[in-house]
Amino acid sequence: MRRPFVAGNWKMNTTRAAGVALAKAVADDVRANKPPVDVAVCPPFPYLIPVGEAIAGSGVWLGAQNAYHAAPGAFTGETALTMLQDCGCQWVILGHSERRQFFGETDASVNQKIQAALAAKLGVIFCVGELLAERQSNQTEKILETQMAGGLAGLSPESLAKLVIAYEPVWAIGTGVTATPDQAEEAHAFLRQWLAGRFDSGLAETVRIQYGGSVKPDNAKELLSQPNVNGALVGGASLKADQFLPIIHAAAEIAAAG
């Protein structure tokens, strides 16, 4: 049984006060209900420390949305993995489509970051996903294969223990258009099969694959019920406790029914 993992990617949103209030609401619920689900919040860099303080002891993990692979030094504007650890992060999201689209990240640069993050003993949420045009021209599997092979190049089988894959079809991110449960399951099963071929099938079975792309309270249950969907990476709906908590509860219900 793969423990579901629901992570909130706040992107470049919230203020310090709003972020702390949101984190406290998530922490209070997790502390009270102890869902059989891993839960993480990933605020913007400047709010990592106050959000970390707000969730301390609750069981909610702290994640960052990006990092640079190099050791601290002359890299203006970048954030080192050691700094994330210093701020209390256990997780880092790498390869998000917005990083690829707006900031020029490539499979090779994402691979450098993944290798460095795993070496630093941080958990990695590695995002992959196709554009709409790629899906429409039946290239989804080819794109996923390229992103997986590039992003995970050189990784040892042991490093899978700290790796979570997030399948995020780009056409579903922030658009309100969600992949159907069948589309999600098909892509997730493909990713797991790919992992089995690259590593081994036993290990591939242990890797959690989150779905991301307009996950909301009203579609979470159906998506999370798919056998290869092991949680969600949630953007917009993670910014409001009354939307994020029902997604965690849906994951908990499915896990409990397990």
Residues designated as active site: 96, 168
How many residues at the interface with ligand PEP, by CB under 6 A?
Answer: 13
Candidates 69-77, 146-154, 229-237, 243-251; binding stretch for ligand PEP (CB under 6 A): 229-237
Candidates 168-176, 188-196, 197-205, 220-228; binding stretch for ligand PEP (CB under 6 A): 168-176
Per-residue burial over 21-50, b = 16 or more CB atoms within 10 Å of its CB, e = otherwise: ebbbbbbbbbeeeebebbbbbbbbbebbee
Residue among 225, 138, 257 nearest 190 (CA)? 138
Per rule CB under 6 A, is residue 92 in the interface with ligand PEP? no
How far is 60 from 182, CA to CA, in rounded Å? 30
Nearest distance from C-beta of residue 76 to ligand PEP, angstroms: 26
Per rule CB under 6 A, is residue 174 in the interface with ligand PEP? yes
Per rule CB under 6 A, is residue 168 in the interface with ligand PEP? yes
Per rule CB under 6 A, is residue 236 in the interface with ligand PEP? yes
Q: CA angle, corner 221, sides to 237 and 13, nearest 5?
A: 10
Nearest distance from C-beta of residue 97 to ligand PEP, angstroms: 8
The binder of ligand PEP chosen from 8, 123, 169, 235 (CB under 6 A): 235
The binder of ligand PEP chosen from 14, 147, 183, 214 (CB under 6 A): 214
Burial environment of residue 227 by CB neighbours within 10 A (0 to 12, 13 to 18, 19 or more): exposed
Per rule CB under 6 A, is residue 212 in the interface with ligand PEP? yes
Give the sign of the dihedral formed by CA 160, CA 168, CA 53, CA 112. Answer: positive
Contact assessment for residue 210 and residue 245, using Cβ atoms and an 8 Å cutoff: no
Nearest distance from C-beta of residue 213 to ligand PEP, angstroms: 5
Per rule CB under 6 A, is residue 233 in the interface with ligand PEP? yes
Beta bridge partner(s), residue 93: 125
3-state secondary structure of 13: coil
Q: Which residue in the shown chain puts its C-beta closest to ligand PEP?
A: 235
The binder of ligand PEP chosen from 55, 165, 234, 252 (CB under 6 A): 234
Contact assessment for residue 8 and residue 228, using Cβ atoms and an 8 Å cutoff: no
Binding mask 44-63 toward ligand PEP (x if CB under 6 A, else -) reads --------------------
Q: What are phi and psi of 109, to 5 degrees?
A: -70, -35
Contact assessment for residue 167 and residue 209, using Cβ atoms and an 8 Å cutoff: yes
Candidates 64-72, 129-137, 227-235, 250-258; binding stretch for ligand PEP (CB under 6 A): 227-235
Nearest distance from C-beta of residue 165 to ligand PEP, angstroms: 13
The binder of ligand PEP chosen from 173, 209, 245, 252 (CB under 6 A): 173
Q: Provide the CA 242 distance to its chain's centre, in angstroms.
A: 20
Interface with ligand PEP (CB under 6 A): 9, 168, 173-174, 212-215, 233-237
